[in-house]
Amino acid sequence: MRSAHLECARLQGLKPALELRSRILSSIRDWFSGEGFIEVETPVRIPTPALELHIDAEPSGDAFLRTSPELHMKRLLAAGYGRIFQLGPCFRKGERGTLHNPEYTMLEWYRANADYLDIMADTESLLTFVSDSLGTAAHRDGSPFLKVPLMMPFMRTTIEELYLKHAGWNPVEAYDAERFEHDLIARVEPALPRDTPVFVMDYPAQAAALSRRKPGREAVAERFELYINGVEIANAFSELTDPVEQRQRFETWARERKARGAAVYPLDEEFLSALELGMPPAGGIAMGIDRLIMVLAGAKSLDAVMAFRE
Amino acid sequence: MAADYTASDFRKGLRVELDGIPYLISEFNFVKPGKGAAIYTCRLKSLLDGNTYVRNFRSNDTLKKPDLEERTMRYSHKENEDFIFMDENFEQFTLNEKVLGDNQYFLFEDCEVHVLYHNGRPVDVTLPTFIEKVVLETEPGARGNTATNTLKPAKINGGFEIMVPLFINQGDTIKIDTRTGEYSDRVLKK
Q: Which of A38-42, A49-53, A54-58 has the highest mean pLDDT?
A: A38-42
Residues B157-164, mean pLDDT to the nearest whole number: 90
The verdict on a CB contact (< 8 Å) between A207 and B35 is: yes
Residues B147-175, mean pLDDT to the nearest whole number: 88
Q: What is the pTM of this model?
A: 0.79
Q: Tell me the ipTM for this assembly.
A: 0.75
Chain A interface includes B30 (CB < 8 A): yes
Question: pLDDT tier at A1 (50, 70, 90 boundaries)?
Answer: low
Q: Is the preceding omega at residue A204 within 30 degrees of 0, hence cis?
A: no
Which region among A17-26, B4-13, B162-171 has the lowest average model confidence (pLDDT)? B4-13
Dihedral of the alpha carbons of A275, A278, A280, A286, in degrees to the nearest 10? -10
Residues A24-53, mean pLDDT to the nearest whole number: 96
Rounded Cα distance, B30 and B64, in Å: 20
Q: What is the pLDDT at residue A39?
A: 98
Q: What is the pLDDT at residue A133?
A: 86
Chain A interface includes B62 (CB < 8 A): no
Helix (H) or strand (E) holding B108: none
**Computed from CA positions of residues A68, A70, A73, A79, in that sequence, does the dihedral angle turn out positive or negative?**
negative
A229 to A150, A299, B99: CA distances (angstroms): 11, 10, 40
Alpha helices by DSSP H, listed for chain A, are: 4-13, 15-34, 70-78, 116-141, 159-166, 177-183, 189-191, 243-260, 269-277, 289-296
Question: pLDDT tier at B83 (50, 70, 90 boundaries)?
Answer: very high
Chain B neighbors of A203, CB-CB under 8 A: 34
Residues A236/A68, Cβ–Cβ less than 8 Å:
no
Chain B interface includes A67 (CB < 8 A): no
Question: pLDDT tier at A74 (50, 70, 90 boundaries)?
Answer: very high
DSSP state of A187: I
Q: What is the pLDDT at residue B124?
A: 83
Exposed e or buried b per residue across A264-295, where buried means at least 16 C-beta atoms within 10 angstroms of its C-beta: ebebbeebbebbeeebeebbbbbbbbbbbbbb
Residues A91-95, mean pLDDT to the nearest whole number: 91
Chain B neighbors of A184, CB-CB under 8 A: 33-34, 36
A204 to A28, A77, A197: CA distances (angstroms): 31, 26, 22
Q: Which of B8, B29, B184 sits opposite A3 (nearest CB)?
A: B184
Residues B67-84, mean pLDDT to the nearest whole number: 91
Give the model confidence (pLDDT) of B114-157 as tens digits.
Answer: 998 888 888 889 999 999 999 999 988 766 656 566 889 999 98
Question: pLDDT tier at B58 (50, 70, 90 boundaries)?
Answer: confident
More confident residue, B1 or A44: A44
Among B32, B61, B174, the residue to mutate for chain A (most A Cβ within 10 A): B32
Q: Which of A30-34, A174-178, B87-91 has the highest mean pLDDT?
A: A30-34
Rounded Cα distance, A177 and A171, in Å: 9
Closest CA to A88 of A74, A72, A106, A68: A106
Give the model confidence (pLDDT) of B34-56 as tens digits.
Answer: 788 898 989 999 887 778 999 98
CB atoms within 10 A of CB B102: 13
Q: How far is CA A239 from the centre of its chain?
A: 14
Question: pLDDT tier at A130 (50, 70, 90 boundaries)?
Answer: very high
Q: What is the pLDDT at residue B47?
A: 84
Rounded Cα distance, A65 and A211, in Å: 23
Q: What is the pLDDT at residue B1?
A: 42
Residues A180/A203, Cβ–Cβ less than 8 Å:
no
Q: What is the pLDDT at residue A294?
A: 93
Helix (H) or strand (E) holding A64: strand A63-65
Give the model confidence (pLDDT) of A188-224 as tens digits.
Answer: 999 999 888 999 999 999 999 899 999 999 999 999 9
Closest CA to A87 of A106, A63, A110: A106
